């Protein structure tokens, strides 16, 4: 049996209103995992900025000549948006479960005058091709340049941003495989059962497990 939803379930009304912290009710009912990473830039005062991100995808374009990251939800009022528009360069840092807590700590150390990376217990490294800081502890760092931005809905306070990935640093232990317990983390955003709304729900972070070898195609 499949349940059908086109309007907010009655069990969610009153608690969720029209949205919870800016998220649609559909976000919690559908709960599609998305890769989790830390985007780092330099603020206008030269201090490193770090912003936890998810709701993103990665794709090739221009007949395979370019590789791009599409960040689907960047707050116009945040340091990441401002520094991307000022500096037009950034690094996407992928971390393992070991460093999840330290990366999440950047949310609390987000003052304009703060070095948001080192104050969260992480280490700054210089990027090779762009003017942005890298996080040493992250096993993969994608150096990026700003390409474009677009509002999904006109007048929204969040935008979709496209970054071109110009180069990458990969730890030798992750060259062959970026999945499993020490691989890329995924954001599992507050999975909710609308038919049992009283059941406790939480945010989760997870990893990928290989299930099927699809072979050559």
Per-residue pLDDT reduced to its tens digit, 92-110: 999 999 999 999 999 999 9
pLDDT digit string (tens) for the chain, length 217 residues: 999 999 998 888 876 655 666 788 899 999 999 999 999 999 999 999 999 999 999 999 999 999 999 999 999 999 999 999 999 999 999 999 999 999 999 999 999 999 999 999 999 999 999 999 999 999 999 999 999 999 999 999 999 999 999 999 999 999 999 999 999 999 999 888 989 887 767 899 999 999 999 987 6
CA dist., res. 102 & res. 64, Å (int) = 35
| Number of neighbours of residue 114 by Cβ within 10 angstroms | 19
- Residue 138's pLDDT is what? 98
DSSP string over 139-208: SEEEEEEEEEEE-SSTT-SEEEEEEEEEEEEE-GGGSS---STTS-EEEE-----TTSTTS----EEEE-
Domains and CATH numbers, the chain: 35-185 (2.30.110.10)
Assess contact for 116 and 49: CB atoms under 8 A. yes
Per-residue pLDDT reduced to its tens digit, 32-52: 999 999 999 999 999 999 999
Vertex 149 angle, CA 146 and 153, to 5°: 160
Phi-psi region of 98 (alpha: psi -120 to 50; beta: other; left: phi over 0): alpha
Global pTM value = 0.94
- Residue 14's pLDDT is what? 73
From first CA to last CA, the distance across the chain in angstroms is 34
The tokens describing 93, both together, are 């840092």
Assess contact for 96 and 173: CB atoms under 8 A. no
Cα-based distances in Å from 118 to 54, 101, 124, 134, 195: 22, 14, 7, 11, 44
Assess contact for 50 and 120: CB atoms under 8 A. yes
Pairing of strands 140-150, 66-75: unpaired
């Amino acid at each position: 049996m499949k349940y059908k939803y086109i309007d907010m379930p009655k069990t969610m009304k009153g608690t969720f209103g029209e949205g919870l912290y800016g998220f649609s009710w559909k976000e919690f009912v559908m709960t599609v995992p998305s890769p989790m990473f830390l985007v780092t830039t330099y603020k206008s005062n030269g201090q490193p900025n770090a912003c936890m991100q998810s709701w993103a995808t990665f794709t090739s374009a221009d007949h395979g000549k370019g590789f791009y990251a599409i960040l689907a939800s960047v707050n116009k009022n945040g340091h990441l948006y401002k520094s991307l528009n000022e500096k037009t360069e950034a690094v996407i840092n992928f971390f393992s479960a070991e460093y999840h807590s330290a990366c999440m700590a950047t949310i609390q150390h987000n003052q304009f005058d703060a070095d948001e990376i080192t104050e969260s217990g992480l280490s700054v490294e210089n990027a090779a091709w762009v003017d942005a800081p890298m996080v040493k502890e992250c096993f993969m760092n994608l150096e990026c340049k700003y390409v474009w931005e677009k509002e999904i809905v006109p007048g929204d306070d969040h935008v979709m941003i496209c970054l071109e990935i110009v180069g990458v640093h990969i730890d030798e232990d992750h060259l062959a495989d970026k999945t499993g317990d020490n691989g890329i983390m995924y954001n599992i955003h507050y999975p909710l059962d609308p038919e049992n709304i009283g059941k406790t729900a939480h945010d989760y972070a997870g990893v990928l497990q290989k299930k099927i070898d699809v072979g050559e195609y």
